[in-house]
């Protein structure tokens, strides 16, 4: 069964460093999302992406964040200068146009020290 | 704007007992409603969804949920709990088609012998 994959599973970085989280969505999906879950808190929407552009973003998704679909298969989330409060589990999700179902990847745990 | 309230951050049931996880939503448009399950150190797996039509929806692993518009509820049930059901369960709401999901805070289900 097709699935969303994410790499790395765990990333540790120092405050102020840039990180890139990678996702490979399901191949025939058209809509892509990033969510995050700070430890012990709810899953929060960050950004949605369709037709090679951002369709919606949350207040969390400020100028430090960017997304890209560089090669038609990968979907990346970049944090330019990480802060301690960026420590969280980051989930990628993708959606087929017709089924209104978002399929989530296993997540990348980002730890900022 | 949309929001989800999950009553009870922890629910404990005996194996074989009824599982009832509560979810109430708020939405200014007809909602699309979802239940996701998260096993330890894993991503979110879709259990079931309601979009339109039949208000009682069946999902995987014997779970079902009923959309009650008058009560703005979408409670998740399973007639007989199994040890393997122990996990965190998230209710989510979306405004339809391809758009962000708003999640509740989650309910951790414990199943005891």
Ordered DSSP codes for chain A: ----EEE-SEEEE-TT--EEEEEE--TT--EEEEEEE-TTS-EEEEEEEETTEEEEE-TT--TTEEEE--SSS-EEEEESS--GGG-EEEEEEEE-TTT--EEE---EEEEE-
pLDDT at position A96 is 87
Does the pLDDT value for residue A72 go beyond 90?
no
Q: pLDDT (tens digit, 9 = 90+) per residue, B53-76?
A: 899 999 999 999 999 999 999 999
Q: What is the pLDDT, as a whole number, of residue A91?
A: 97
* Residue A111: C-alpha distances to residues A85, B14, B98 (Å): 9, 36, 30
CB B100 to CB A58 under 8 A? yes
* Chain B positions in Cβ-Cβ contact with residue A1 (cut-off 8 Å): none
Nearest CA in chain A to B34: A101
DSSP string, B23-60: -EEEESS--EEEEEEE-TT--EEEEEEE-SS-SEEE-G
Q: Which two tokens stand for residue B33?
A: 């409603």
The pLDDT value recorded for residue B22 is: 98
Q: Distance, in angstroms, between A41 CA and closest chain B CA?
A: 6
- Please, is A53 exposed, middle or buried when counting C-beta atoms within 10 Å of its C-beta (0-12, 13-18, 19+)? exposed
All residues of chain A having their beta carbon less than 8 Å from the beta carbon of residue B44 are 43, 91, 93, 104
CB B48 within 8 A of CB B64: yes
User: B88 CA to chain A: closest CA distance, Å?
Assistant: 11
Share of chain A above pLDDT 90, in %: 82
Across chain B, mean pLDDT equals 94
Residue B44 exposed, middle or buried by CB count within 10 Å (0-12, 13-18, 19+): buried
Cross-strand partners of B67: B74
Does residue A25 carry a pLDDT above 90? yes
């Amino acid at each position: 069964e097709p699935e969303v994959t994410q790499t790395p599973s765990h990333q540790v970085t120092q405050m102020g460093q840039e990180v890139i989280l990678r996702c490979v969505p399901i191949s025939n999906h058209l809509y892509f999302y990033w969510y995050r879950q700070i430890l012990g808190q709810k899953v929060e929407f960050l950004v949605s992406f369709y037709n090679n552009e951002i369709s919606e973003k949350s207040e969390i998704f400020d100028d430090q964040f960017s997304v890209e679909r560089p090669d038609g298969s990968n979907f990346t989330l970049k944090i330019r200068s990480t802060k301690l409060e960026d420590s969280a589990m980051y989930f990628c999700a993708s959606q087929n146009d017709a089924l209104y179902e978002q399929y989530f990847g296993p997540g990348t745990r980002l730890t900022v020290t | 704007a949309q929001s989800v309230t999950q009553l009870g951050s922890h629910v404990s049931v005996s194996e074989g007992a009824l599982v009832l996880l509560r979810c109430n939503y708020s939405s200014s448009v007809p909602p699309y409603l979802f239940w996701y399950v998260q096993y330890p150190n894993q991503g979110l797996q879709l259990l079931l969804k309601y979009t339109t039509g039949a208000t009682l929806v069946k999902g995987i692993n014997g779970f079902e949920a009923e959309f009650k518009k008058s009560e703005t509820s979408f409670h998740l049930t399973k007639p007989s709990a199994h040890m393997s059901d122990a996990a965190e369960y998230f209710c989510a709401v979306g405004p339809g088609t391809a758009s962000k999901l708003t999640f509740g805070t989650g309910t951790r289900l414990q199943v005891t012998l």
